[in-house]
Amino acid sequence: MENPKSFFEINDLVVEYYADGEVVHAVNGVSLRLRPGQSLGLVGETGAGKTTIAKSVLRILPDRGARICSGGIKLNGTDLLSLSEHDMRKIRGNDIAMIFQDPMTALNPVQRVGDQIAEVVKIHSECSSLEAEEKAKEMLEMVGIPADRYKEYPHQFSGGMKQRVVIAIALACNPHLLLADEPTTALDVTIQAQVLDMIEDLKRKYNTAMIMITHDLGIVATVCDEVAIIYAGEIVEYGTKEEIFEHPSHPYTVGLFDAIPNMNEDEEWLHPIEGMPPDPTNLPAGCAFGPRCPRATAECREKKIGLNRTEDGHVCRCIHINKTAQGGEV
């Protein structure tokens, strides 16, 4: 996980929510690294903490009921958690942008789509209203929407078109880092493929790094270079796409792959992971996946497990893997 050329890094991030007198342990010591132009897939079940990580990066967690307890988030050496809200506004949409999961809620229903793109350009660029409008039309064309639809409203667009507008807003200022929070979940399969191809083309054009938040391993295979498997707010496995897909090591990762239908075999039933994710207000004392793991032992249930290197070089939070000759935690 060490990368001297990384321009973005998250170090030991811990985030908690507070509700009805209980503490929800949403993110528990997550660390990530990204190079310019690199794509990282955050994969896990609903409630694993993926979106909370992205919102922590942009510092858009709820003012009440959520708190970043510890850790660091750096972009080009700048600690984002130490910035004032005024300085953070200069980064949101400019250096770091986010594609939200639901374009219906991400767009203002009473504002023209072109004006919503132009607004981002005007905030972060020294340009006139006319120049911002021209840039917005250029972005619409870039995502496959005719510029003459600039003055239309979100309700006049299909779901796929609205998602393209959201992508145009996110990329309007050529951000260094793009956070894509399940950007194709609300789309049908054909439109999904088109949107993913478009994101990949634009990412290459601007050399933009990306964190793709998803539970779909097919999307990871299409657009990501590295993969971090998230479970109960922790990274349980982290490596290149090839390492994770060819040598999944953590029992949870293996379970995710086993749950995918094999098109080459005639199987009557799928193989889901037994059990449910743990209650985030009362996490297990040992391995969070222990209660669902077929390989769990007393040691797994009693102590926290660190990340260990596997034989092929990626890292895994499990004591049952075959460690490298160097061994030890990462």
pLDDT tens per residue across span 296-311: 898 998 888 999 998 8
Q: In the prediction, which pLDDT does 105 show?
A: 86
pLDDT tier, 5 (very low <50, low <70, confident <90, very high otherwise): low
Average pLDDT of the residues of the chain: 89
CA distance 24 to 81: 21
The pLDDT of residue 326 is above 70: no
Tens digits of residue pLDDT in 132-148: 999 999 999 988 899 99
152, burial (CB in 10 Å: exposed 0-12, middle 13-18, buried 19+):
middle
Q: In the prediction, which pLDDT does 330 show?
A: 45
CA distance 299 to 105: 45
Q: In the prediction, which pLDDT does 324 show?
A: 37
pLDDT tier, 323 (very low <50, low <70, confident <90, very high otherwise): very low
Please spell the DSSP secondary structure of 291-308, one letter per residue: GG-TT--HHHHHS----E
CA distance 86 to 322: 48
Predicted structure pTM score? 0.88
Half-sphere exposure of 321 (CA within 13 A, CB side): 30
CA distance 3 to 283: 31
Mean pLDDT of 90-106: 89
Q: In the prediction, which pLDDT does 288 show?
A: 94
Token couple for 171:
């990329």
Please name which of 87, 78, 35, 28 lies closest in space to residue 53, comparing C-alpha atoms: 28
113, burial (CB in 10 Å: exposed 0-12, middle 13-18, buried 19+):
buried
Q: In the prediction, which pLDDT does 329 show?
A: 46
pLDDT tier, 69 (very low <50, low <70, confident <90, very high otherwise): very high
Q: In the prediction, which pLDDT does 133 show?
A: 95
Tens digits of residue pLDDT in 243-256: 999 999 999 999 99
Q: In the prediction, which pLDDT does 187 show?
A: 73
Give Cα 329 distance to the centre of its chain.
25
Q: In the prediction, which pLDDT does 328 show?
A: 43
The pLDDT of residue 67 is above 80: yes
CA distance 62 to 90: 19
The pLDDT of residue 289 is above 60: yes
The pLDDT of residue 6 is above 60: yes
CA distance 66 to 24: 9
Mean pLDDT of 110-119: 95
12, burial (CB in 10 Å: exposed 0-12, middle 13-18, buried 19+):
exposed
Residue scoring higher pLDDT (101 or 70): 70
Tens digits of residue pLDDT in 165-178: 998 999 888 899 99
Least confident of 16-30, 180-194, 212-226: 180-194
Token couple for 109:
């229903």
pLDDT tier, 325 (very low <50, low <70, confident <90, very high otherwise): very low
> What single DSSP character describes residue 131?
H
Q: In the prediction, which pLDDT does 327 show?
A: 39
- Mapping DSSP to helix (H, G, I), strand (E, B) and coil, where does residue 253 land? helix
CA distance 72 to 68: 9
